[in-house]
């Protein structure tokens, strides 16, 4: 039986896939406009790599990278990495994430 949450959006602040918030993105752009280097910005946000800062500042690079990754079929490499790291199969990871989203939906309905 399919999960009821599939077509419903969960709030962005509860979504575990979101690593960089909109507030962080605006702060990064502001710092760059003020003359801060990409390396300096990356030091300010330890959870963000320099490459991610570049992708935020220059969206055309992100599009180019996505196109290149699709050609190389990079998504298949991600699945293999999870297997090597012992995190379980991709199906198990997705199943756990669906259960997490279902629990979020229940919490939101209880409020």
Query: Residue 84's Cα: distance from chain center in Å?
Result: 21
Q: If you average pLDDT over residues 92-107, what whole number do you get?
A: 82
Look at residue 78 and give its three-state secondary structure: helix
pTM: 0.58
Q: Which two tokens stand for residue 36?
A: 């801060």
Does the structure show a pLDDT above 50 at 1?
A: no
- pLDDT tens-digit readout, 12-67: 777 777 788 889 999 999 999 999 999 999 999 988 899 999 999 999 999 998 88
Does the structure show a pLDDT above 70 at 99?
A: yes
Q: Residue 70 to residues 34, 48, 63, 75, 94: CA-CA distances in angstroms?
A: 34, 23, 11, 8, 21
Does the structure show a pLDDT above 80 at 88?
A: no
Give residue 95's pLDDT: 85
């Amino acid at each position: 039986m399919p999960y009821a949450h599939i077509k419903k959006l969960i709030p962005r602040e509860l979504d575990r896939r979101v690593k960089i918030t909109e507030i962080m993105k605006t702060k990064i752009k502001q710092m760059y406009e003020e003359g801060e280097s990409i390396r300096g910005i990356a030091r300010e946000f330890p959870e963000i790599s320099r490459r991610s800062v570049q992708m935020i500042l220059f969206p055309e690079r992100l599009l180019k990278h996505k196109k290149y990754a699709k050609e190389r079929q990079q998504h298949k490499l991600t699945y293999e990495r999870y297997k090597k790291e012992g995190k379980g199969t991709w199906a198990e990871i997705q199943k756990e994430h669906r259960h997490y989203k279902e629990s979020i939906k229940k919490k939101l309905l209880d409020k």
